[in-house]
Chains A and B, each alone.
Chain A
Amino acid sequence: MKNSNQKGFQFNEQLSFELSREGRSSASLPKCPQKKREVPSSLKRSQSARLPQLSELEVVRHFTRLSQWNFSIDTNFYPLGSCTMKYNPRVNEETARYTGFAHVHPYQPESTVQGCLQLMYELENYLAEISGMDAVTLQPAAGAHGELTGVLVMRAWLKAQGNPRKKILIPDSAHGTNPATCSMADYDVVQIRTGKEGRLTAGVVAQMMTEDVAGLMLTNPSTIGLFETDIKEIADIVHAKGGLVYGDGANMNALLGKARPGDLGIDMLHYNLHKTFTTPHGGGGPGSGPLAVKKILEPFLPIPRVVSIPPHPPLKLRGGEGGIFHLDSDRPQSIGRIRAFQGNFGMMVRAYTYIREMGATGLKRATELAVLNANYIKARLKDHYHLPFGEGTLHEVVFSDKKQKEHHISTLDIAKRLMDYGFHSPTIYFPLVIFGALMIEPTETESKETLDEFCDAMTEIAKEAQTNPDLLKSAPNNTRLRRLDEAKAARELKLRYTF
């Protein structure tokens, strides 16, 4: 198979602490002509931090070798559902590193950071337009942070109406951050069952929506990859009882230019810039989770807000036409600060770069091809894997291991065996509403050849599950390390190197 896992040069690189030798150094520091000062003994550090001591070549080799152990988007297809593993454009890395962006201090006087503020202002406008909302804050550091901000805004708005209420409705298919966020915001979570068709039904929401419920948090399309067709009716039901609808925007890659959450009755939405807008995944962040809201909620957004003085018409490129941008903290109804400074600016530059490159036509095309790719995978695999919800797949498709369970093969085994074919597995065991879920989100940046190779591998694996299940049980067989003992890691906690 063309892309199956080769052994190659994979070193058994030790920890930097183990490679360390007393007296080696890769620091290159200028001489300091000022007098050397002594720290008084009461304040002096008694034991030095035992950071490694290596020459520069050793450090470079160390991290180069470590990187070679990693799978990445740059390596091969990475179909993690719900994560939108699309190509991370290299031009983003260049623009984010321009000196005038990277080396700017957050507390510089505003006249010296007009470029940063302009970028933020424009990005806010683009994100508002894409989602059909009226105002955006770029402050949240990640999706979960955006969710917390959103729920706090929800509470503030409800409080201003007279009653913050006590509960929030969340579908059983929700990402774990949704209920966790509600608990952090001191709301009780009430779970709504996904209907038989894999969607939320207006009837069920109507039963559960009361005046004690602050609102509903949902993902559209859902984590099963299906558009919530009852959304307008559901939103009306929630609004009729004075509540709000929060949209988790993790799946925006299915909607760009096709539909806008704000037009569907959703009152607030967070984006994951590290999903739809190509900021790099980096092994687990940094992310950025802007929150977009309808006009009624704008006064409650966290401070500071980026404003232009005098107010500019929205969505026109300013580019030096004399706009004066300002960080405004004079917002009496704001929920306050959700972090220091003004957001993950470094990630904003990247997302901005991407949106400016793609434009409206590019973004819409991206969504169309993302949906095409997911449907293609569905068509090729539906005879080999059980497809619990087959109608209306958008950008991600969820299979289960039901067929393979007959041969005592589980989703985990399938995921591990895929590595032997050179692929990263899909998201497994999420959403919880599907037992043994295998969630595949190809994204639009993958070619037909790649999809075919992946489907060929999955088809092979389905066969192997019947004819040669041991191959799956022992998988991965071709990786440098075999299956790792997670129980041992949890029982015998070793969370740092001990000298």
Chain B
Amino acid sequence: MNLPEDLKYSKEHEWVRISGNVVTVGISDYAQDQLGEIVFVELPAEGEEFSKGDAFGVVESVKSVNDIYAPVTGTVMEINDPVVDSPEIVNEDPYGEGWLIKFEVSDPKELKELMSAKEYEKYLKEESE
């Protein structure tokens, strides 16, 4: 399982790339693998606000549909339009071209609650048991 060290992870299988006050969010390699071929991605509009834990979008494959949850509280700054037109990008490059949205963080303290790559790896092992 691909787990880049420079990213943080949430229990709902999202990854977070921190750059000052802005975070980029996507779904982990584990998540895209579990989902199978992704056929549809629903993203919010720029300017929408979400609290940590709120469902901000939907990722749909042939056999399942899952909400994606805000890993931190914040405002949507940018959404990755290409992914809406070609959802398979999320399968192909979940940490790169397959990013979903960029948030402006309102409470930086929440970032500490996210897991490191090692912690997420451990979490995945426990989940599968």
Contact = CB atoms under 8 A, between A and B. Distances in A.
B86 to A, nearest CB: 8
A486 B39 CA distance: 10
Contacts of A486: 62
Contacts of A491: 39-40, 87-88
Interface in B90-110: none
Contacts of B39: 487, 490-491
Interface in A2-52: none
In this complex, which of B61, B62, B87 has the most chain A Cβ atoms within 10 angstroms of its Cβ? B62
Contacts of B36: 487
B121 interface: no
A487 B38 CA distance: 7
A491 B90 CA distance: 13
Chain A interface helix/strand/loop/mixed: helix
Interface residues of B, number: 9
Contacts of A490: 39-40, 60, 62
A491 B88 CA distance: 9
Nearest to B85: A491
A103 B115 CA distance: 68
A486 B40 CA distance: 13
Nearest to A492: B39
Interface string A456-499: 00000000000000000000000000000011001100000000
Nearest to B40: A490
B42 interface: no
Contacts of B87: 491
A490 B36 CA distance: 13
A490 B41 CA distance: 12
B49 interface: no
Nearest to A429: B63
Contacts of B62: 486-487, 490
A416 to B, nearest CB: 15
Nearest to A491: B39
A490 B38 CA distance: 9
A486 B37 CA distance: 9
Interface in B34-71: 36-37, 39-40, 60-62
Contacts of B60: 490
Interface string B15-41: 000000000000000000000110110
A491 B87 CA distance: 8
Nearest to B37: A487
A337 to B, nearest CB: 33
Contacts of B40: 490-491
A485 to B, nearest CB: 9
Nearest to A486: B62
B85 to A, nearest CB: 10
B66 to A, nearest CB: 15
In this complex, which of B36, B37, B40, B61 has the most chain A Cβ atoms within 10 angstroms of its Cβ? B37
A490 B88 CA distance: 12
Interface in A89-146: none
Nearest to A487: B37
A487 B37 CA distance: 6
Contacts of A487: 36-37, 39, 61-62
Nearest to B61: A487
Nearest to B88: A491
Nearest to B91: A487
A487 B88 CA distance: 10
Please name the 6 residue pairs, one residue from A and one from B, whose CB atoms are nearest each other, closest first.
A490-B39, A487-B37, A491-B39, A486-B62, A487-B62, A490-B62
14 contacts: A486-B62, A487-B36, A487-B37, A487-B39, A487-B61, A487-B62, A490-B39, A490-B40, A490-B60, A490-B62, A491-B39, A491-B40, A491-B87, A491-B88
Interface of A: 486-487, 490-491
Given A487-B37, A487-B61, 12 more contacts: A486-B62, A487-B36, A487-B39, A487-B62, A490-B39, A490-B40, A490-B60, A490-B62, A491-B39, A491-B40, A491-B87, A491-B88
Interface of B: 36-37, 39-40, 60-62, 87-88
